[in-house]
Amino acid sequence: MKTEKKNKIWQTFLLVLLVVTVLIGLFYLPRIHLFDQDLRRVNILSDVQRRDKDGNIVAERMADSLDGYVEQGIDSAAIRVKQLAYVDTVPKGMVAIEDFATDGLNREMDKFYAALGQSHNRPVRVAYFGDSYIEGDILTMDLRALLQQKFGGKGVGFVEIACVSSDFRRSVTSRRNNWNRYHANERGRGFKANLQSMAGSYFIPSGTATYELRCQTNVYGNLLGEADEATVFFTPGSGLNIQYALNGGERQSLFSNGEASAPQTYDEVVEVVDSDSTISYKTITRTVETAQQGAGNVVAKSINGKINRFNMTVTGGHGSRFYGVALDGHNGIAVDNFSMRGSGGQHLGGIPVETLRSFASVRPYDLIVIHYGLNVANEKQKDYGGYTGQLGKVIDLMKQAYPHASILVVSMGDRDKRGSDGQMHTMGGVKEMVSYERKMASDHHVAFWNLYEAMGGDGSLARMTEKKQANLDYTHINFAGGRHLAELLFDVLMNGKTNYDNRVR
């Protein structure tokens, strides 16, 4: 009897299909770590997949990012990018903000994007902390203008009584006389960290002290040429008297707490979060005596009007401390420049949380930008964990004092040095710093923007120098470069706002 041979082709086909399916599925598994080495990702489609300009497979880099890997060899297994139901759209070539919030429904930047939708009804404030990259209102001046042009607002925001960049700042002109300056960069002069303001400084009047701010019309005159409100921030001492004049007019009393005077009051702005997460504000009037019982004891006194020149005279007030004056609109965007030359931002960790909360009560923020690293990165150092550990504590402080603000870490930008090939390349230590700053943002569950990549990566500052957007030290940008970077950041923020609006609809 003859046995009939069965056709096995379909079984072979199923076996091949099963093997291919398993191999494709292995691609999505996390990389295997064996004997201190990360094994290559299984990828049978590597020969046909799209690659970036450096020859890396784009799909593998995306998968590595989701698994917690970053460049420069940092063990960043804790980094996770949230995969939500809505996938953001990002224009080609844009380096988008990464959001490391742990809440699967809300992202870190959502608080700021929601606030932008309320800018026609109230001030939306941004605090931008940084080093010499933003000194003299470089970068922030143009970011402020772009935001104000789109969302309304006017005025330069907060200005210190005296700072090292006063003489070359283009966005406002200031004059002062008879002030003792105490600054985090000048600790030999008796500076006390627990008394500093958000700007890292405080000022004590000596005898009769004067201070004047003049709005500027030479840059963005329609936005900086006039303000609706001037606010003085200070801690009052015994017998303090403050007089002011607007636009060269008659002097009037702003504050007096001499023995014969009536109790002085000030307005404290309190944030109120509604059930639908909408943020609004209510004003509570308090007496100075009540304020002096608090730890921070920051008083804000405001004057309204069409202001292009503000002048104040201070007498008496033993124990008084002054911090600065803000020129703002009644609504729209306010961007405060908190720059400190040569700083890595660690000085902010010396501000008591009670003081930060006191500032928050009189000047709440919707977005806090942390932008440092330029003065810490160096060629010999590769590990910046100690530094980012200190800066991470600053982030935690800001979270405690400003729970309703979004926090955005902006990495250091490019810094260049001539290489062995005779060409300008990124200085050693820069890429490592950027990676550590990214991991810091992930560890503290805030947002991160890679300025180094957004500028163009390796040698980008040298290219900006050729365009006269940076100085010949291949380290610092100038006002033209600040405008360029402000445009990049503005576009990124607006792309984030568009994605936010699409998600919450």
Same domain, 322 and 343: no
User: Which phi and psi (to 5°) does residue 469 adopt?
Assistant: -105, 0
For the chain (505 residues), the mean pLDDT of every run of 10, in chain order, is 60 78 69 52 69 58 47 41 66 96 83 96 97 93 97 96 80 93 82 90 93 92 93 93 96 78 44 52 47 59 96 92 96 96 91 91 96 92 94 96 96 90 90 96 97 94 93 89 96 97 87
Q: In this structure, what CATH number is given to the domain that contains residue 114?
A: 3.40.50.1110
CB 109 within 8 A of CB 447: yes
Same domain, 167 and 119: no
Dist. CA 64–CA 56, nearest whole Å: 12
CA separation (Å) from 237 to 63, 296, 312, 314? Answer: 59, 13, 17, 12
Last residue of a domain, one of 330, 357, 387: 330
Same domain, 219 and 310: yes
Same domain, 291 and 335: no
Same domain, 175 and 313: yes
CB 404 within 8 A of CB 392: no
CB 300 within 8 A of CB 363: yes
CB 338 within 8 A of CB 129: yes
Q: Is 16 helix (H, G, I), strand (E, B) or coil?
A: helix
Same domain, 91 and 213: no
Dist. CA 149–CA 114, nearest whole Å: 18
How many domains does the chain divide into?
2
Same domain, 252 and 163: yes
Q: Which residue in the block uniquely carries the two structure tokens 């004059």?
A: 175
pLDDT at 238: 86
Same domain, 336 and 312: no
Q: Is 45 part of a structural domain of the chain?
A: no
Q: In this structure, what CATH number is given to the domain that contains residue 277?
A: 2.60.120
What pTM, to 2 d.p., does this model score?
0.78
Helix (H) or strand (E) holding 322: strand 321-328
Our measurement of the distance from residue 105's CA atom to the centroid of its chain's CA atoms, rounded to an integer in Å, reads: 23
pLDDT at 186: 80
**Domain region containing 124:** 72-152+331-505
pLDDT at 359: 93
Helix (H) or strand (E) holding 503: helix 479-504
Dist. CA 289–CA 398, nearest whole Å: 27
pLDDT at 295: 35
User: Which phi and psi (to 5°) does residue 194 adopt?
Assistant: -75, -5
Same domain, 240 and 323: yes
Last residue of a domain, one of 330, 352, 367: 330
pLDDT at 76: 40
Q: How big, in percent rounded to 5, are the helix, strand and coil portions of the chain?
A: 30, 30, 45
Last residue of a domain, one of 311, 330, 349: 330
Phi-psi sector, 276: left (phi>0), alpha (psi -120 to 50), beta: alpha
Q: Is 43 part of a structural domain of the chain?
A: no
Q: How many CB atoms lie within 10 A of CB 62?
A: 11
Same domain, 168 and 145: no
Q: Is 19 part of a structural domain of the chain?
A: no
User: Which phi and psi (to 5°) does residue 230 adopt?
Assistant: -120, 130
Same domain, 412 and 463: yes
Residue ranges in 280-352 assigned as alpha helix (H): 288-291
Same domain, 434 and 312: no
Q: Is 112 part of a structural domain of the chain?
A: yes
CB 452 within 8 A of CB 412: yes
pLDDT at 29: 66
